[in-house]
Structure 1
Amino acid sequence: MAVPTIAKGPSPTRRAPRGRTRYRLPDVAWGYAFVAPAIALFGVMGVYTIVYGLSLSFATWNGFTPNWRWVGFKNYSDLLWNDPRYAPRVHQAALNTMWVMIAVPVLTVLVSFPLAVLLNSVRRLKTVLRSVYFLPQVTSGIAVYFAWMYVLQPDGAINLLLRSVGLGSLQQPQGWLGNTTTALPTLIVITVWSSVPVSMMLYLAGLQAVDPTLIEAARVDGASSWHITRHVVWPLLKPITAIIVLLALRDSLQGFQTFLVMTNGGPGDHTNVLGLETYRLAFLSQLNPTLGLSSALGWMLFVAAVILAAINLRVMRRVT
């Protein structure tokens, strides 16, 4: 008896393993062609600039001669302790920067969080109030700084207001930016004023993302508005607080526009910060050549910013 044979059909096609996608060579070539201009631009404006600036930090150069003079780590030692022309100024700038880095994040959180809670609870004119409080962020910085300078003058609006309400003893005859005692705190207040809008919007977005059932449950348990904000809402917004603190630290460490326009480090270097000192060494110093010193100070600021970012990242991982 013959055994029936089973007809074999065509062999099934082999499928590519899951997770892998095969691209044809023309598609890959077109992809590289589209990203090549961006890579080239980053290579020229990014990588080359970084390597150039790092190399300059180990040399002296006045910006005009064709050759550099390599000095190794002398620029760093001169800035930190070796050269009496630069080290004291850097130390004073570092101390001022430290005060700014402490005060600006703390005050930004203390002002922006209650303001966000208040705006989140407003029923009428909510959009108008948000626009008003966000106005400092979209206003031209230079114009705002000059307006503040006018307000803080000896005959400015703040002294006039103090005199009109019977607090003439608090007036500053030299102006709030001309007094060595009030200059740095005044600039800190202005820096906080300019950083509050973004922080407030971040907090406001976080408040609107909070689950309403948590708040209702706390109210049912008899918690007051203060206890709800402190024990329910605030812990949920800790990641946003970490982001706000990081942004404030970055602006305090590297930002110098406010100090440059309003005081240029004065009076007597009492408002000089490290970012401003880097700028002054590069463009305003009469002790040439100082471009290498400026680059070295800039790289020290970069390392400090990386360390602060790493610390902030670890803090965010713990609170989330």
Structure 2
Amino acid sequence: MAIHVPERHAPSAAPRTRSRRSTSRDDRKRPQPGRIPGQRWYTPYLFPIPALILFGIFFAWPAVTAIQLSFFKWDAVSQPIFVGLDNFARLASDGRFWTGLGNSMLFLVGMFPLLVVIPLLLAVLVNQRLPGIKTFRMLYYLPVVTSMVAVGVAWEYVFNQQGVLNWILTGFGILDQPIQYLLDPVWALPALVLVEGWKSMGVFMMIYLAGLQTIPTNLYEAAKVDGASAWHRLRHITVPLIVPYLAVTLTMEMLEAMQVFTSVYVMTQGGPQDSTLTLGYYIWSAAFQKYDMGYASAMGLVLWLLLILMALANYRITKGRTVMT
């Protein structure tokens, strides 16, 4: 009897792999990590457009216009007249400009302890877990949100000849007779420095406080175990680790000191005898009292370049100094 042997079929060919073209097409259809399905490639670039428009309208365009005006003579009414570098040459012989620059530098020096040193010590204090410390933070920050005009008017009563400051100093026998501080060429500038520093101190304290809360507490605990005093902990742990925040406060202090205007406008108008004339007030006076827009723009450009140089110098000094000493 014949035996039927089933035929052996050749093994079927291996399944064909998809082409690279189809694979890449599928990959494109698959949602990419971190990307919203259906999102266009240009969608993220649409979000900064409103901010860029505002930046261009309120900063870039006025800055370019001010640079252009510094080469013209213009009274805001008649046609501008091109004068080249005459406005800048005029600065060299303008005594009031150098007086304003010198007073601005005195503001810079005088506000340094009020806005850089004292806020650091206050931040160390309010960083402690003490009863009512949050209320103290709020009260200390209150002058920051108060209008400088209101602050100036209030401090005028403090510095008045019959004000509370003279009452205290004469009551304790420190002064023989009251002083009219804002009318005295010797005391007017220190009085304004005190007002500016008192008002802005809360901002700088909060910046330091944010930096202090990033420092690990185990560093202080280890230092206490080793017998380090509070001064050594401040010097060798706190200060080196908040150098980036110190760089921010130094830059902000320079910007604020060199652009002081409102307190001078409200309390002294640059007097007496130009003893409180700052560069910011002199620029405003040239532009909106004398309508010398070109000269005011030239002074503003010089102030802008000076602030850039000071900020760069501050950056070079504080750059990389975060290593504990």
Q: TM-score, normalised by structure 1?
A: 0.87
1:160 to 167, 179, 204: 167
Between the aligned partners of 1:136 and 1:261, the Cα distance in structure 2 is: 17
Q: 2:123 aligned with 1:116, yes or no?
A: yes
Alpha-carbon distance change, 131 to 44 in structure 1, aligned in 2, over 3 angstroms: closer
Q: 1:167 to 1:122 in 2, by over 3 A?
A: farther
State the partner residue of 1:69: 81
Shift of 1:223: 1.2
* Superposition deviation, residue 110 in structure 1: 2.4
RMSD, aligned CA: 2.7
In the other structure, the counterpart of 1:46 is 59
1:171 deviates by 3.3
Give matches, 1:159-178, under 5 Å: 159-169=166-176, 171-172=178-179, 175-178=180-183
Give the corresponding residue for 1:58: 71
User: Aligned residue for 1:84?
Assistant: none
Displacement, 1:29? Answer: 7.1
Q: Give deviations 1:11-43, integer Å, cap 9, x for gaps.
A: 241256xx9999999946777777655544444
Secondary structure at the aligned position of 1:177 is classed as helix
1:113–1:35 distance in 2 versus 1, CA, 3 Å: closer
| 150, 164, 179: which one aligns with 2:157 | 150
Partner Cα separation in structure 2 for residue 224 and residue 197 of structure 1: 27
Query: What pairs with 1:85-104 in structure 2 (closer than 5 Å)?
Result: 87-104=94-111
Report the counterpart of residue 17 of structure 2 in structure 1. 9
Alignment-mate amino acid for residue 89 of structure 1? R
Report 1:1-320 matches (<5 A): 5-12=13-20, 13-14=23-24, 15=27, 27=40, 38-65=51-78, 67-81=79-93, 87-121=94-128, 123-169=130-176, 171-172=178-179, 175-285=180-290, 290-320=292-322
Counterpart amino acid of residue 69 in structure 2: L
What is the rounded CA distance, in whole Å, between the counterparts of 2:211 and 2:244 in structure 1? Answer: 10
Instruction: Provide closer, same or farther for how the CA distance between residues 5 and 110 of structure 1 changes in structure 2, counting only shifts above 3 A.
Output: closer
Deviations 1:293-314 (A, max 9, x none): 0000011111111112222222
Distance 2:112 2:309 in 1: 17
Distance 1:36 1:238 in 2: 34
Check whether the contact 1:105–1:244 (CA below 8 A) recurs between aligned residues. no
Distance 2:120 2:39 in 1: 54
Shift of 1:315: 2.7
Q: CA–CA distance in 1 between the matches of 2:252 and 2:197?
A: 12
| CA drift at 1:118 | 1.8
1:26-68 deviation per Cα after TM superposition (whole angstroms, max 9, x unaligned)? 9467777776555444444433322221111100011111x21
**Paired residues of 1:162 and 1:170 also in contact (CA < 8 A):** no
Change (3 A) 1:223 1:96: same
Structure of larger gyration radius = 2
Gaps of 5+ in 1: 82-86
Amino acid at match of 2:282: E
SS in 2 for 1:168: coil
- The residue identity in structure 2 corresponding to 1:9 is T
Deviation, structure 1 residue 280: 0.4
| Corresponding pairs, count | 307
What is the CA-CA distance between 1:201 and the residue it aligns to? Answer: 1.2
**Cα distance change on mapping 1:168 and 1:64 into 2, 3 Å:** same
Instruction: Tell me how far apart the structure 2 counterparts of residues 48 and 149 of structure 1 sit (CA, whole Å).
Output: 38
Q: State the identity %.
A: 34
- In the TM superposition, what is the alpha-carbon distance from 1:316 to its structure 2 partner? 3.3
Q: Closer, same or farther in 2 for the Cα pair 1:28/1:226, shift >3 Å?
A: closer
Distance in 2 separating the partners of 1:244 and 1:306: 15
What SS does structure 1 have at the residue aligned with 2:127?
helix
